[in-house]
Amino acid sequence: MPELPEVETTRRGIEPWLANQTLQAVMIRQPSLRWPVDETAMQALVGRSVQSVQRRGKYILVGFDSGTAIWHLGMSGSLRLVQQDEPVRLHDHIDWQLANGMTLRYHDPRRFGALLWQPEGELLSQLASLGPEPLEPAADSGLTADYLYQRSRGKSQAIKTFIMDSAVVVGVGNIYANESLFMAGIRPTVAAGKISLARYERLLDCIRDVLAKAVTQGGTTLRDFVNSDGKPGYFAQQLQVYGRGGENCHQCGGILQEIRLGQRATVYCVRCQH
């Protein structure tokens, strides 16, 4: 599933082509996605201009004067920009034809993604439940080490699953949770409620660092959003632990352990993480 850096790269890739553009046509070939597409609301966007292209968690928010169209890529979805005469492929479910001659095309073989409509002045439940953003300044998001510390008090839940809870903080998917905990020297199985404020300060810095680096590295894939698959994939970064169970730790040389935690692959170093 695309994680926050992949979604942010998608947003950055499509924004220059969507910003201030008028929708000339909307074609919905398959409305049965994770949630049914509101075809009436989507057709009402024809003739309206895009005012903003933002991100909230793993959702891409395209703002209009009447509300916000919200894309979610699900397990296998992708957004790419194509010429308007490009042939439609299998699983190309939705097209937005733009005044600049390009088409924003949504492709999703498994149909776990979504296109939602949020009228002006309303807030969908999918967004209302989201925690603060790790890539926004703390003054804007409210995400601080003290916030994590207070939210974790009394919790026996493992720290890895705690930081992966989108109601606590958004965007810390499995890959980046593994990497952040390794950088912070925290074993993923430690109870969230037993971690000190000082260690949360270190962990939050690491989460921000890992995600920011992944987004920066994603910049080299922006060309993928025009006349290509539109799938940046996971970035070619040097992963310290994820996917390396049984291999040597880059830091101490010990053997990395792999377990299942919250049904997700979890890799850590017994020497470097406590």
CA distance 60 to 260: 30
Share of the chain above pLDDT 90, in %: 82
Q: To which H or E segment does residue 48 belong?
A: none
pLDDT of residue 196: 98
Q: What residues are annotated to the active site?
A: 2-3, 58, 264
Q: Find all residues with CB under 8 Å of 82, minimum gap 6, and list them.
A: 102, 103, 105, 226, 227
Q: Residue 130: what are its φ and ψ, rounded to 5°?
A: -80, 140
Residue 117 near residue 41, CB atoms below 8 Å: yes
pLDDT tens-place string over residues 226-238: 444 555 555 556 7
At 113, list the tokens. Answer: 């993604």
Q: Any idea where the domains of the chain sit in the sequence?
A: 4-128, 138-268
| Mean pLDDT in residue range 189-202 | 98
Domain boundaries 138-268, corresponding CATH code: 1.10.8.50
89 pLDDT band, cuts 50/70/90, is very high
110 is in an annotated binding site: yes
pLDDT tens-place string over residues 206-228: 999 999 988 887 754 445 554 44
| Mean pLDDT in residue range 23-35 | 97
From residue 184, how far is each of 148, 159, 256, 272 by CA, in Å?
15, 12, 16, 9
pLDDT of residue 233: 52
For the entire predicted model, the pTM comes to 0.89
> Minimal CA–CA distance to 163: which of 127, 195, 126?
195
pLDDT of residue 236: 52
91 is in an annotated binding site: yes
pLDDT of residue 75: 86
- CB neighbourhood size of 145 (10 A): 18
For residue 39, pLDDT over 50 is answered with yes
For residue 109, pLDDT over 60 is answered with yes
> Is 4-128 a domain of CATH 3.20.190.10?
yes
